[in-house]
């Protein structure tokens, strides 16, 4: 039971972090796309890997890009609040 309690706690923490992400959702002809922008400077498009969504961008940008850039980080289709196109 301890494992299940820990799992539920970790999921609650993850959901709270995602809910606190100051992202926006925009409508496109392919469906809704959630995105996060932050920073100042030349723009960099930051695509997340196979897990997470735009909520991962601050961690990835800090680790691999650094300061001095404006990060534009969309969530790929099917991640977080980005929808999957109807014809997929």
Where are the domains positioned within the chain? 23-88
Q: What is the mean pLDDT of residues 45-58?
A: 86
Residue pLDDT, tens place only, 59-76: 899 999 999 999 999 999
3-state secondary structure of 36: strand
| Residue 59, token pair as written in the block | 């961690």
> CA distances (Å), 11 to each of 21, 23, 30, 70, in order?
16, 20, 29, 30
In which band, very low, low, confident or very high, does the pLDDT at 1 lie, cut at 50, 70 and 90? low
With cut-offs at 50, 70 and 90, classify the pLDDT of residue 82.
Answer: very high
């Amino acid at each position: 039971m301890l494992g299940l309690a820990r799992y539920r706690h970790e999921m609650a923490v993850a959901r709270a972090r995602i809910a606190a992400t100051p992202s926006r959702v925009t409508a496109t002809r392919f469906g809704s796309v959630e995105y996060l922008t932050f920073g100042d400077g030349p723009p960099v498009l930051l695509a997340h890997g196979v897990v997470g969504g735009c909520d991962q961008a601050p961690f990835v940008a800090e680790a691999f890009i650094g300061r001095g850039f404006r990060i534009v980080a969309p969530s790929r289709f099917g991640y977080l609040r980005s929808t999957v196109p109807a014809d997929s």
